[in-house]
Amino acid sequence: MQRYHDCPQILREFLIYHENIKGQSPLTIQEYYLDLRMFLRFVRLMRCDMPMKTPLEDIDIKDVDINFIREIESADIFDFLAYLANDRAINPESVAPDYGISPASRARKLSSIKSFYKYLTVRTKQLEENPVAELEYPKLRKSLPKYLTMEQSSALLQAVSGPNEKRDYAILMLFLNCGIRRSELVGLNLTDVYEDRIRVVGKGNKERFVYFGYACRKAIDAYLIERNKRELTDNRALFGSRDNNRISVTAVHRLVKKALLQAGLDSTQFSAHKLRHTAATMMLSGGVDVKTVQEVLGHENLNTTQIYTHIENTELKIAAEANPLSKLDFSDKME
């Protein structure tokens, strides 16, 4: 927690709780830190005799304590959300930045604040009142996740080439067959690979087994011949980098983008996460029920998985309308 040297003790304790007790990912902890630091800086700016143009980054909050937080009211939180929606620069370094961050970004920051107050009221009971308990999230525009078609998936796999061809091919096969997250793939060890499945450690350090088919097994076996000839700094790792370390999330991102470009696909529209969407969509297309897909993907809430059923419904509608018989009109027969 040395990296959070500029935040108050009460916030550090919250971050330690979520990292060590709740077992949340480093990325989630980092988001909590940035969101709550911004929130507390904003409240201090509103409370103190400082020019309104003072950059939030210049505001010291190291002495913020429970008494300061106890005085924060719902109105302060509404002011913060209004600041995010109207006055927060999207690209501060730009010559002419736009202002007002997206509803999704505002919702994430509100989620961080809600988690903080839940910790203070329910977990540690340092506060009695929770000013955000009933606060609603910004309304988000719902959009279906992007995914590759069967033809695009095939083209992606066929396009893999280069010095790490077998490794990259095995990684793409795991994404497309198992729908695992990038962080889960990076964390795979040699001992996590079984005859017909892998053991995955997901969010909150929850373990699950994900099965794969013959083609995926064949791809892993081909890669393992090369892997077993190498010695990595962390020799437990299933996938290694060219400098003999465990492969990183960034390296996985790059290799997926490279394969997309080689396949002639738009690398700005697709990513490793979109391959996860693809796997989920293909499973539902193949008749797998949504509850099973939820278990495969490691979703805690079924609602998260059900968005893929909307994709499926859309495809079914398109298929029905593509049928030439759907254009025939013998309405006089029904009169």
Active site residues: 181, 203, 273, 276, 299, 308
| Exposure on the CB side of residue 143, measured as CA atoms within 13 A | 6
Query: What residues form DSSP beta bridges with 210?
Result: 198
Residues 6 or more apart in contact with residue 157 via CB below 8 angstroms? 169, 172, 173, 176
Give the relative orientation of helices 150-159 and 165-178 as an angle to the nearest 10 degrees: 160
Rounded to an integer, what distance in angstroms lies between the CA atom of residue 189 and that of residue 253? 19
Query: In the chain, which ranges are continuous DSSP H helix?
Result: 9-16, 26-47, 66-70, 74-86, 103-118, 150-159, 165-178, 182-186, 214-227, 249-262, 272-285, 290-297, 302-322
- Count of C-beta atoms within a 10 Å radius of residue 53: 5
Q: How wide is the angle at C-alpha 104 spanned by C-alphas 103 and 107, nearest 5°?
A: 85
